[in-house]
Amino acid sequence: MSAGFHGALAGMRVVDLTRVLAGPLCTQTLADHGADVVKVEPPAGDETRKLGPPHDLSGNAAYFLALNRGKRSISLDLSKPDAQDVLHRLLADADVLIENFVPGTMERWGIGFEQTLRERYPKLIYCAISGFGRDGPLGGLPGYDAVLQAMCGLMSINGDESIGAVKVGIPIVDHLTGYVALTGILMALHARGRTGTGQRVEATLFDSALSLLLPQASNWFTSQKEPELLGSAHPNIAPYDKFKAQGGDLFIGILNDGQFRRFCTHVGLDDLPVDERFVTNARRVDNRLALKQLMEAAIADIECGRLCDALMRAGVPAGPVNSVPSALEHPHTKHRDMVVHQGTYTGLRSPVRLSGTPGSPGRPPPGFAQDTDEILTQIGFATQEIESLHRTGAAPRP
């Protein structure tokens, strides 16, 4: 195996058994930074290939395109011994295996980490992603992002009294879990450099979702007061909220008294910083509704975009509430080179930036099993053996 470009992870070999979001996001980031990632899909394919519309001209859902750049694809039915032989050949020189099956699946096939792989491949980093982990009251059960948002309290603090609790508009738990897995893999690789041995890395949606309760969990531990629905406001900071201006909404994030004074000076509210209701952040939090009314009255006739620009340049963090297209077309998005264009493929660049070993987006996401014969040949299978794997369904054709 060989990566198509140089990066911090050039030479790293990754066997990716994951589907849907958290795992593929993790391995796409590895690929963007030089790792050679072989995506092993089940015969039915990664579910996200079908999670549309929209779809591209090849029939792949946009969801799949977002998560699988830079990988080569092969399909294996790992319940079959012949397919497991292919997996073992892939693992012979692999650094990382990452999977997100329901816990116990790899063991049922006889290829679990402690059961088989750790002894056979002592340097292997084995990363398991799951909803709840292997044990405990919920151990081994399946989990999805929105279900975890509900179970772990995230929905209970997102929304307002008029609409009640709502999920976050992106799969934020899956997204964070992908980065938790990435972090764990890189830590384990660093440890292997000292010890010479691999280890098992675990990332769960449950743990990741709970870790997002910042600062709400700490607020609860300290006060025993249950967090409330605050809309776009912050439980500990004011003014830190969405406000209406002329022609649109903006978010103003004021963290300290200096920023508050600068804001008030800019919009003609010079009396507010000495008003007893607003002299400290704690007082502003207690009187947030009255403060918001005064602020919105002061900015009602100021054009939203002009106000945001002026506040930022005055040292007051503020930004317009942009649509997704507006955010993607923003001049700073272009300056940061965050959108990747490769022929008919368009995607978002990895946010990880390294100066000495910069990453580079790999080739567009692969078609289902499109690299099967190339990969099988590369790991030593003869033409006749490859035909047999196709015929038995151990390695289905594209």
Residues labelled as active-site residues: 174
CA 55 – CA 228 distance, rounded (Å): 39
Triad 324, 27, 365: Cα angle to 5°: 65
User: In the beta sheet, which residues pair with residue 203?
Assistant: 129
User: In the beta sheet, which residues pair with residue 40?
Assistant: 74
- Residue 200 — φ and ψ, nearest 5°? -90, 130
Residue pair 256/210 in contact (Cβ under 8 Å)? The answer is no
CA 241 – CA 369 distance, rounded (Å): 47
Residue pair 39/48 in contact (Cβ under 8 Å)? The answer is no
Name the DSSP letter for residue 191: H
What is the torsion angle, in degrees rounded to the nearest 10, for the CA atoms of residue 324, residue 210, residue 17 and residue 350?
40
Residue pair 284/291 in contact (Cβ under 8 Å)? The answer is yes
Q: What is the phi-psi region of residue 217: left when phi exceeds 0, alpha when psi lies from -120 to 50, beta otherwise?
A: alpha
Q: Which amino acid is at 61?
A: A
Q: Is 177 helix (H, G, I), strand (E, B) or coil?
A: helix
Find where tokens 């699988």 sit. 68
CA 193 – CA 176 distance, rounded (Å): 26
- Residue 25 — φ and ψ, nearest 5°? -65, -45
**308: number of Cβ within 10 Å:** 22
Compute and round to an integer the Cα radius of gyration of the chain. 25
Helix (H), strand (E) at residue 38:
strand 36-41
CA 91 – CA 284 distance, rounded (Å): 58
CA 383 – CA 386 distance, rounded (Å): 5
Name the DSSP letter for residue 364: P
